[in-house]
Structure 1
Amino acid sequence: MLVVMDPDVGDALNGAETPEHRLTRVGEGDRKAFADLYDATASRVFGLVRRLLVDPAQAEEVTQEVYLEIWQTASRYKPERGSAISWMLTMAHRRAVDRVRASQASRDRDVRVGIRDYDREFDHVAEHVEVQLESERVKRALAGLTELQRQAVELAYFGGLSHTEISSRLHVPVGTIKTRIRDGMIRLRDALGVTS
Protein backbone atom coordinates (compact mmCIF):
# COMPACT_ATOMS: atom_id res chain seq x y z
CA MET A 1 0.00 0.00 0.00
CA LEU A 2 1.32 3.45 -1.03
CA VAL A 3 0.82 6.27 1.45
CA VAL A 4 1.04 9.84 0.14
CA MET A 5 1.88 12.28 2.84
CA ASP A 6 1.79 16.05 2.90
CA PRO A 7 5.45 17.17 2.73
CA ASP A 8 4.92 19.54 5.65
CA VAL A 9 3.70 16.68 7.85
CA GLY A 10 6.52 14.48 6.59
CA ASP A 11 9.05 17.12 7.63
CA ALA A 12 7.60 17.20 11.12
CA LEU A 13 7.69 13.40 11.44
CA ASN A 14 11.27 13.26 10.17
CA GLY A 15 12.41 15.77 12.78
CA ALA A 16 12.86 18.55 10.22
CA GLU A 17 11.44 21.95 10.91
CA THR A 18 8.01 22.76 9.59
CA PRO A 19 7.46 25.84 7.44
CA GLU A 20 5.74 27.42 10.45
CA HIS A 21 8.90 27.04 12.57
CA ARG A 22 11.08 28.29 9.75
CA LEU A 23 8.82 31.29 9.16
CA THR A 24 8.89 32.16 12.85
CA ARG A 25 12.72 32.07 12.76
CA VAL A 26 12.70 34.19 9.59
CA GLY A 27 10.63 36.74 11.52
CA GLU A 28 13.50 36.87 14.01
CA GLY A 29 15.97 37.63 11.19
CA ASP A 30 17.40 34.12 10.73
CA ARG A 31 18.92 33.99 7.23
CA LYS A 32 19.51 30.23 7.33
CA ALA A 33 15.84 29.64 8.14
CA PHE A 34 14.92 31.89 5.22
CA ALA A 35 17.15 29.90 2.84
CA ASP A 36 15.63 26.64 4.12
CA LEU A 37 12.11 28.05 3.80
CA TYR A 38 12.86 29.18 0.25
CA ASP A 39 14.24 25.78 -0.73
CA ALA A 40 11.22 24.02 0.74
CA THR A 41 8.53 26.30 -0.74
CA ALA A 42 9.83 28.10 -3.83
CA SER A 43 8.51 25.55 -6.33
CA ARG A 44 4.97 25.81 -4.92
CA VAL A 45 5.02 29.61 -4.78
CA PHE A 46 6.47 29.90 -8.29
CA GLY A 47 3.97 27.32 -9.59
CA LEU A 48 1.02 29.37 -8.33
CA VAL A 49 2.41 32.63 -9.69
CA ARG A 50 3.26 30.98 -13.04
CA ARG A 51 -0.34 29.76 -13.43
CA LEU A 52 -1.61 33.34 -13.03
CA LEU A 53 1.03 35.08 -15.16
CA VAL A 54 1.67 34.03 -18.74
CA ASP A 55 5.16 35.49 -18.96
CA PRO A 56 7.75 33.30 -17.15
CA ALA A 57 10.07 36.28 -16.59
CA GLN A 58 7.28 38.20 -14.85
CA ALA A 59 6.43 35.10 -12.81
CA GLU A 60 10.06 34.91 -11.63
CA GLU A 61 10.06 38.61 -10.79
CA VAL A 62 6.82 38.36 -8.81
CA THR A 63 8.13 35.28 -6.98
CA GLN A 64 11.20 37.29 -5.95
CA GLU A 65 8.92 40.10 -4.74
CA VAL A 66 6.92 37.57 -2.71
CA TYR A 67 10.03 36.24 -0.97
CA LEU A 68 11.23 39.78 -0.30
CA GLU A 69 7.85 40.50 1.29
CA ILE A 70 8.08 37.26 3.28
CA TRP A 71 11.51 38.30 4.59
CA GLN A 72 10.22 41.76 5.51
CA THR A 73 6.91 40.71 7.07
CA ALA A 74 7.56 37.25 8.54
CA SER A 75 7.32 38.66 12.06
CA ARG A 76 3.63 39.38 11.39
CA TYR A 77 2.84 35.72 10.67
CA LYS A 78 0.55 34.18 13.30
CA PRO A 79 0.55 30.33 13.29
CA GLU A 80 -2.85 30.25 15.00
CA ARG A 81 -4.41 31.92 11.93
CA GLY A 82 -3.30 29.27 9.47
CA SER A 83 -0.40 27.37 7.98
CA ALA A 84 2.74 29.09 6.81
CA ILE A 85 2.34 27.81 3.26
CA SER A 86 -1.23 29.16 3.10
CA TRP A 87 0.00 32.54 4.30
CA MET A 88 2.76 32.54 1.69
CA LEU A 89 0.52 31.34 -1.15
CA THR A 90 -2.08 33.99 -0.29
CA MET A 91 0.66 36.60 -0.52
CA ALA A 92 1.85 35.15 -3.85
CA HIS A 93 -1.68 35.07 -5.27
CA ARG A 94 -2.29 38.69 -4.25
CA ARG A 95 0.96 39.87 -5.83
CA ALA A 96 0.33 37.94 -9.05
CA VAL A 97 -3.18 39.37 -9.36
CA ASP A 98 -1.79 42.87 -8.71
CA ARG A 99 0.70 42.33 -11.54
CA VAL A 100 -2.06 41.18 -13.91
CA ARG A 101 -4.14 44.25 -13.04
CA ALA A 102 -1.17 46.58 -13.46
CA SER A 103 -0.34 45.06 -16.84
CA GLN A 104 -3.95 45.43 -17.98
CA ALA A 105 -4.08 49.04 -16.79
CA SER A 106 -0.84 49.76 -18.66
CA ARG A 107 -2.22 48.21 -21.86
CA ASP A 108 -5.45 50.19 -21.51
CA ARG A 109 -3.48 53.40 -21.00
CA ASP A 110 -1.32 52.66 -24.05
CA VAL A 111 -4.44 52.06 -26.14
CA ARG A 112 -6.00 55.35 -24.99
CA VAL A 113 -2.81 57.26 -25.77
CA GLY A 114 -2.49 55.49 -29.11
CA ILE A 115 -6.06 56.36 -30.05
CA ARG A 116 -5.57 59.96 -28.96
CA ASP A 117 -2.34 60.26 -30.94
CA TYR A 118 -3.94 58.55 -33.95
CA ASP A 119 -6.87 60.98 -33.87
CA ARG A 120 -4.54 63.98 -33.62
CA GLU A 121 -2.65 63.00 -36.76
CA PHE A 122 -5.72 63.72 -38.83
CA ASP A 123 -6.82 66.89 -37.07
CA HIS A 124 -3.92 69.31 -37.49
CA VAL A 125 -6.26 72.19 -38.35
CA ALA A 126 -8.27 71.82 -35.13
CA GLU A 127 -5.08 71.58 -33.07
CA HIS A 128 -3.66 74.71 -34.75
CA VAL A 129 -6.87 76.65 -34.10
CA GLU A 130 -6.91 75.49 -30.46
CA VAL A 131 -3.31 76.68 -29.95
CA GLN A 132 -4.11 80.04 -31.58
CA LEU A 133 -7.18 80.58 -29.37
CA GLU A 134 -5.23 79.69 -26.23
CA SER A 135 -2.43 82.03 -27.26
CA GLU A 136 -4.91 84.90 -27.67
CA ARG A 137 -6.37 84.19 -24.21
CA VAL A 138 -2.90 84.36 -22.66
CA LYS A 139 -2.10 87.65 -24.48
CA ARG A 140 -5.34 89.21 -23.20
CA ALA A 141 -4.59 88.00 -19.67
CA LEU A 142 -1.03 89.41 -19.84
CA ALA A 143 -2.47 92.77 -20.91
CA GLY A 144 -4.40 92.81 -17.62
CA LEU A 145 -1.19 92.82 -15.54
CA THR A 146 0.59 95.94 -14.36
CA GLU A 147 3.60 96.90 -16.49
CA LEU A 148 6.03 95.81 -13.73
CA GLN A 149 4.31 92.42 -13.30
CA ARG A 150 4.13 91.80 -17.06
CA GLN A 151 7.80 92.67 -17.49
CA ALA A 152 8.90 90.28 -14.71
CA VAL A 153 6.63 87.44 -15.90
CA GLU A 154 7.71 87.78 -19.55
CA LEU A 155 11.41 87.81 -18.64
CA ALA A 156 10.99 84.75 -16.41
CA TYR A 157 8.66 82.60 -18.51
CA PHE A 158 9.25 83.76 -22.07
CA GLY A 159 12.82 84.98 -21.67
CA GLY A 160 13.92 82.03 -19.53
CA LEU A 161 15.77 84.23 -17.04
CA SER A 162 16.26 83.35 -13.38
CA HIS A 163 15.10 85.65 -10.59
CA THR A 164 18.69 86.78 -10.08
CA GLU A 165 19.16 87.56 -13.78
CA ILE A 166 15.92 89.57 -13.88
CA SER A 167 17.01 91.42 -10.74
CA SER A 168 20.32 92.36 -12.37
CA ARG A 169 18.71 93.41 -15.63
CA LEU A 170 16.02 95.58 -14.00
CA HIS A 171 18.21 96.80 -11.09
CA VAL A 172 15.58 95.68 -8.56
CA PRO A 173 16.05 93.44 -5.48
CA VAL A 174 15.43 89.69 -6.01
CA GLY A 175 12.63 89.70 -3.41
CA THR A 176 10.79 92.38 -5.36
CA ILE A 177 11.13 90.34 -8.57
CA LYS A 178 9.75 87.25 -6.83
CA THR A 179 6.79 89.26 -5.51
CA ARG A 180 6.02 90.74 -8.94
CA ILE A 181 6.14 87.31 -10.58
CA ARG A 182 4.01 85.72 -7.84
CA ASP A 183 1.40 88.48 -7.97
CA GLY A 184 1.40 88.43 -11.77
CA MET A 185 0.92 84.66 -11.88
CA ILE A 186 -1.98 84.89 -9.43
CA ARG A 187 -3.67 87.50 -11.62
CA LEU A 188 -3.01 85.40 -14.75
CA ARG A 189 -4.47 82.31 -13.07
CA ASP A 190 -7.59 84.25 -12.10
CA ALA A 191 -7.93 85.83 -15.56
CA LEU A 192 -7.57 82.44 -17.30
CA GLY A 193 -9.94 80.72 -14.88
CA VAL A 194 -7.32 78.16 -13.83
CA THR A 195 -8.00 76.37 -10.54
CA SER A 196 -5.12 75.10 -8.47
Structure 2
Amino acid sequence: MGERVGFSAPGNGERTAGAELAELVQRVGAGDEAAFSRLYDAVSGAVFGLAVRVMRDRAQAEEVAQEALVDVWRRAARYSPERGNVMAWVLMITHRRAVDRLRSESAADEREERAGALDRQRPFDSVTESVLANLERERVRGCLSALTGLQRESIVLAYFNGYTYAEVAEVLRAPAGTVKTRIRDGLIRLRDCLGVGR
Protein backbone atom coordinates (compact mmCIF):
# COMPACT_ATOMS: atom_id res chain seq x y z
CA MET A 1 0.00 0.00 0.00
CA GLY A 2 3.01 2.27 0.40
CA GLU A 3 3.63 2.77 -3.33
CA ARG A 4 1.92 5.65 -5.06
CA VAL A 5 -0.29 4.59 -7.91
CA GLY A 6 -2.67 6.91 -9.65
CA PHE A 7 -3.33 9.64 -12.12
CA SER A 8 -0.56 12.22 -12.16
CA ALA A 9 -0.58 13.88 -15.58
CA PRO A 10 -0.31 17.65 -15.31
CA GLY A 11 -2.64 20.30 -16.68
CA ASN A 12 -5.37 18.92 -18.88
CA GLY A 13 -4.57 15.41 -17.63
CA GLU A 14 -5.57 16.41 -14.12
CA ARG A 15 -9.08 17.27 -15.33
CA THR A 16 -9.21 13.94 -17.15
CA ALA A 17 -7.96 12.14 -14.05
CA GLY A 18 -10.59 13.90 -11.95
CA ALA A 19 -13.30 12.88 -14.38
CA GLU A 20 -12.02 9.29 -14.41
CA LEU A 21 -12.02 9.18 -10.60
CA ALA A 22 -15.55 10.61 -10.50
CA GLU A 23 -16.70 7.96 -12.97
CA LEU A 24 -15.00 5.22 -10.93
CA VAL A 25 -16.68 6.40 -7.72
CA GLN A 26 -20.05 6.38 -9.47
CA ARG A 27 -19.45 2.80 -10.61
CA VAL A 28 -18.21 1.80 -7.13
CA GLY A 29 -21.42 3.28 -5.70
CA ALA A 30 -23.31 0.86 -7.95
CA GLY A 31 -21.31 -2.05 -6.49
CA ASP A 32 -18.72 -2.47 -9.27
CA GLU A 33 -15.78 -4.27 -7.62
CA ALA A 34 -13.51 -3.89 -10.67
CA ALA A 35 -14.03 -0.12 -10.50
CA PHE A 36 -13.18 -0.20 -6.79
CA SER A 37 -9.97 -2.06 -7.59
CA ARG A 38 -8.99 0.69 -10.06
CA LEU A 39 -10.00 3.44 -7.64
CA TYR A 40 -8.03 1.72 -4.88
CA ASP A 41 -4.91 1.63 -7.05
CA ALA A 42 -5.36 5.29 -8.00
CA VAL A 43 -5.77 6.69 -4.47
CA SER A 44 -4.14 4.22 -2.08
CA GLY A 45 -0.69 5.86 -2.21
CA ALA A 46 -2.07 9.27 -1.26
CA VAL A 47 -4.31 7.71 1.40
CA PHE A 48 -1.41 5.86 2.99
CA GLY A 49 0.83 8.94 2.82
CA LEU A 50 -1.74 11.05 4.66
CA ALA A 51 -2.35 8.31 7.22
CA VAL A 52 1.40 8.09 7.95
CA ARG A 53 1.65 11.87 8.37
CA VAL A 54 -1.23 11.96 10.86
CA MET A 55 -0.51 8.72 12.75
CA ARG A 56 3.32 8.86 12.65
CA ASP A 57 3.27 5.07 12.90
CA ARG A 58 3.42 2.90 9.76
CA ALA A 59 1.52 -0.07 11.17
CA GLN A 60 -1.33 2.07 12.44
CA ALA A 61 -1.28 4.09 9.23
CA GLU A 62 -1.79 0.87 7.22
CA GLU A 63 -4.83 0.02 9.35
CA VAL A 64 -6.24 3.54 9.06
CA ALA A 65 -5.69 3.50 5.29
CA GLN A 66 -7.48 0.15 4.92
CA GLU A 67 -10.38 1.38 7.08
CA ALA A 68 -10.59 4.61 5.06
CA LEU A 69 -10.68 2.69 1.77
CA VAL A 70 -13.43 0.42 3.11
CA ASP A 71 -15.30 3.62 4.05
CA VAL A 72 -14.84 4.85 0.47
CA TRP A 73 -16.41 1.60 -0.78
CA ARG A 74 -19.33 1.97 1.64
CA ARG A 75 -19.94 5.67 1.00
CA ALA A 76 -19.34 5.80 -2.76
CA ALA A 77 -23.06 5.86 -3.56
CA ARG A 78 -23.40 9.03 -1.44
CA TYR A 79 -20.47 10.89 -3.05
CA SER A 80 -21.50 14.27 -4.43
CA PRO A 81 -19.19 16.20 -6.81
CA GLU A 82 -20.58 19.46 -5.40
CA ARG A 83 -18.68 18.77 -2.16
CA GLY A 84 -15.31 18.62 -3.93
CA ASN A 85 -13.27 16.39 -6.19
CA VAL A 86 -12.88 12.68 -5.53
CA MET A 87 -9.31 12.85 -4.22
CA ALA A 88 -10.23 15.60 -1.74
CA TRP A 89 -13.24 13.53 -0.62
CA VAL A 90 -11.13 10.38 -0.19
CA LEU A 91 -8.46 12.27 1.75
CA MET A 92 -11.11 13.89 3.95
CA ILE A 93 -12.39 10.40 4.85
CA THR A 94 -8.82 9.29 5.55
CA HIS A 95 -8.06 12.31 7.73
CA ARG A 96 -11.24 11.79 9.75
CA ARG A 97 -10.38 8.11 10.22
CA ALA A 98 -6.86 8.96 11.40
CA VAL A 99 -8.05 11.68 13.79
CA ASP A 100 -10.77 9.36 15.14
CA ARG A 101 -8.12 6.69 15.75
CA LEU A 102 -5.91 9.14 17.64
CA ARG A 103 -8.85 10.35 19.71
CA SER A 104 -9.94 6.79 20.36
CA GLU A 105 -6.48 5.85 21.61
CA SER A 106 -6.40 8.87 23.88
CA ALA A 107 -9.88 8.07 25.20
CA ALA A 108 -8.90 4.41 25.66
CA ASP A 109 -5.92 5.45 27.78
CA GLU A 110 -8.19 7.60 29.94
CA ARG A 111 -10.75 4.77 30.21
CA GLU A 112 -8.05 2.34 31.29
CA GLU A 113 -6.96 4.70 34.02
CA ARG A 114 -10.56 5.11 35.21
CA ALA A 115 -11.22 1.37 34.91
CA GLY A 116 -8.11 0.65 36.95
CA ALA A 117 -9.47 2.86 39.71
CA LEU A 118 -12.92 1.21 39.49
CA ASP A 119 -11.42 -2.31 39.53
CA ARG A 120 -10.10 -1.61 42.97
CA GLN A 121 -13.64 -0.72 44.08
CA ARG A 122 -15.85 -3.17 42.12
CA PRO A 123 -15.52 -6.90 41.35
CA PHE A 124 -15.11 -7.76 37.64
CA ASP A 125 -17.75 -9.93 35.96
CA SER A 126 -15.31 -12.23 34.18
CA VAL A 127 -17.99 -14.78 33.20
CA THR A 128 -20.05 -12.27 31.18
CA GLU A 129 -16.92 -10.82 29.58
CA SER A 130 -15.69 -14.30 28.64
CA VAL A 131 -19.04 -15.33 27.11
CA LEU A 132 -19.30 -12.14 25.03
CA ALA A 133 -15.70 -12.47 23.82
CA ASN A 134 -16.29 -16.12 22.82
CA LEU A 135 -19.46 -15.21 20.90
CA GLU A 136 -17.65 -12.46 19.02
CA ARG A 137 -14.72 -14.76 18.21
CA GLU A 138 -17.09 -17.42 16.85
CA ARG A 139 -18.82 -14.83 14.67
CA VAL A 140 -15.50 -13.62 13.25
CA ARG A 141 -14.33 -17.24 12.72
CA GLY A 142 -17.52 -18.00 10.81
CA CYS A 143 -17.02 -15.00 8.54
CA LEU A 144 -13.33 -15.82 8.04
CA SER A 145 -14.22 -19.36 7.01
CA ALA A 146 -16.36 -17.95 4.17
CA LEU A 147 -13.29 -16.32 2.59
CA THR A 148 -10.99 -17.96 0.07
CA GLY A 149 -7.90 -19.63 1.51
CA LEU A 150 -5.53 -16.90 0.31
CA GLN A 151 -7.83 -14.13 1.58
CA ARG A 152 -8.16 -15.79 4.99
CA GLU A 153 -4.44 -16.51 5.38
CA SER A 154 -3.48 -13.01 4.23
CA ILE A 155 -5.90 -11.31 6.65
CA VAL A 156 -4.92 -13.54 9.59
CA LEU A 157 -1.22 -12.88 9.01
CA ALA A 158 -1.69 -9.12 8.52
CA TYR A 159 -4.32 -8.30 11.14
CA PHE A 160 -3.99 -11.00 13.78
CA ASN A 161 -0.24 -11.66 13.57
CA GLY A 162 0.84 -8.12 12.68
CA TYR A 163 2.73 -8.96 9.47
CA THR A 164 3.35 -6.27 6.84
CA TYR A 165 2.14 -6.83 3.27
CA ALA A 166 5.69 -7.71 2.21
CA GLU A 167 6.00 -10.27 5.02
CA VAL A 168 2.61 -11.79 4.18
CA ALA A 169 3.66 -12.07 0.52
CA GLU A 170 6.90 -13.77 1.56
CA VAL A 171 5.18 -16.25 3.88
CA LEU A 172 2.51 -17.13 1.30
CA ARG A 173 4.99 -17.03 -1.61
CA ALA A 174 2.63 -14.81 -3.53
CA PRO A 175 3.21 -11.46 -5.27
CA ALA A 176 2.72 -8.47 -2.96
CA GLY A 177 0.09 -7.03 -5.33
CA THR A 178 -1.91 -10.26 -5.15
CA VAL A 179 -1.72 -10.25 -1.35
CA LYS A 180 -2.91 -6.62 -1.18
CA THR A 181 -5.80 -7.38 -3.51
CA ARG A 182 -6.79 -10.48 -1.52
CA ILE A 183 -6.69 -8.53 1.76
CA ARG A 184 -8.77 -5.70 0.28
CA ASP A 185 -11.35 -8.08 -1.19
CA GLY A 186 -11.39 -10.17 1.98
CA LEU A 187 -11.97 -7.11 4.16
CA ILE A 188 -14.92 -6.12 1.99
CA ARG A 189 -16.41 -9.62 2.35
CA LEU A 190 -15.76 -9.61 6.11
CA ARG A 191 -17.41 -6.21 6.44
CA ASP A 192 -20.49 -7.49 4.62
CA CYS A 193 -20.60 -10.72 6.64
CA LEU A 194 -20.23 -8.93 10.00
CA GLY A 195 -22.72 -6.25 9.01
CA VAL A 196 -20.28 -3.42 9.73
CA GLY A 197 -21.70 0.00 8.88
CA ARG A 198 -25.26 -1.20 8.27
Tell me the TM-score normalized by structure 1. 0.51
Change (3 A) 1:7 1:108: farther
CA separation of 1:6 and 1:39: change in aligned 2, threshold 3 A: same
Match of 1:88 in 2: 90
Q: Structure 2 unaligned segments of length 5 or more: list them.
A: 1-7, 122-198
The partner residue of 2:110 within 108, 123, 132 is 108
* Matched residue SS, 2:56: coil
Q: 1:29 to 1:58 in 2, by over 3 A?
A: same
Structure 1 counterpart of 2:39: 37
Q: Report the CA distance shift for 1:8/1:44 in structure 2 as closer, same or farther (over 3 A).
A: farther
| Residues 53-72 of structure 1 aligned to structure 2 (within 5 Å) | 53-72=55-74
Q: 1:77: which partner in 2? A: 79
Residues 53, 44 of structure 1: alpha-carbon distance in 2 compared, 3 angstrom cutoff: same
Choose from 100, 105, 119 the match for 1:98.
100
Structure 1 counterpart of 2:21: 19
2:49 to 41, 47, 50: 47
Which letter maps to 2:48? F
Q: Distance in 1 between matches of 2:118 and 2:33?
A: 51
Alpha-carbon RMSD = 2.6
Distance in 2, Cα, partners of 1:20 & 1:73: 13
Structure 1: state its 5+ residue gaps: 121-126, 128-196
The Cα shift of 1:101 comes to: 0.3
Cα distance, 1:77 vs. partner? 0.5
**Which whole-Å CA distance do the structure 2 matches of 1:76 and 1:97 have between them?**
22
Tell me how far 1:79 sits from its aligned partner: 1.4
The residue that corresponds to 2:193 in the other structure is none
Tell me the TM-score normalised to structure 2 length: 0.50
